[in-house]
Amino acid sequence: MTLTGPDAAWFVHRPADTSTGLGLLHPDPSPSALIRLDSGRIALRPLHGLDLADFSPDGSRYLTMSIDGFLSVRELVTDSVLAQRHVDDLPDLPSRIRFDNWSFEYPALFLTDEIIMVTLAPRDYSSDDEHLLLSARSLRYRARTDYPTRRWPGPLVSAERSGRWLTHDHEEGMLRLWQIGNTTPPPASPRAESTPLDDEPMPGQIAFF
């Protein structure tokens, strides 16, 4: 593999074993790959999908996105698609976003094994970006983040820890670390199993710390 310059590739942290993700600006044969050291040499395995965005906390799935508005979740072992949606086709997305001219902005993050956070930005710059929470099982819209700050806190940055993320306000020079509480609904009885996020409404207010 020949890289065209210092910004032609970037790493995507994977929280499992010794492999990590690699994104490529000029893909050949794929825009992303899984790499590891093997007897002192770099072993590369191309990943399917589009631009690599993140891995799930357990390392078993990966998230890809595209500039034309597609988001997909794939199984790492088989590269099979578990969920794939366009920005205009996210289930339960509020109509004010669905029918406006919005696009995905890099990066998208696995907050937990159940929740993905994405950034949607208006193409005409008429308002601030939106950070939305989606189900990692179906890419169903679950909630939007309503930050307790005076102004938009800035773009997403991965904190590389489940349930946490960073925002960076370039104008204020402010880096903030955020965390959400447990979003898995409690079991209905001591003998019942916890219900996956995708099967129950989100709590009306998720705790931010």
pLDDT tens readout for residues 173-194: 888 998 886 555 444 544 544 4
Q: Which of 8-12, 120-124, 191-195 has the lowest mean pLDDT?
A: 191-195
96 found inside a domain: yes
4 found inside a domain: no
42 found inside a domain: yes
Q: Which two tokens stand for residue 80?
A: 């099979």
Higher pLDDT, 29 or 144: 144
What domain range is 72 assigned to?
9-199
Helix count and strand count (H, E) for the chain: 1, 15
209 found inside a domain: no
Checking if the pLDDT of 2 tops 70, the result is: no
13 found inside a domain: yes
Higher pLDDT, 9 or 154: 154
Higher pLDDT, 155 or 201: 155
What percentage of the chain has pLDDT greater than the value 70? Answer: 79
Q: What is the pLDDT of residue 134?
A: 93
Q: Which of 4-18, 68-82, 83-97 has the lowest mean pLDDT?
A: 4-18
117 found inside a domain: yes
How many domains are there within the chain?
1
Residue 49 CA to residue 78 CA, distance in Å, equals 12
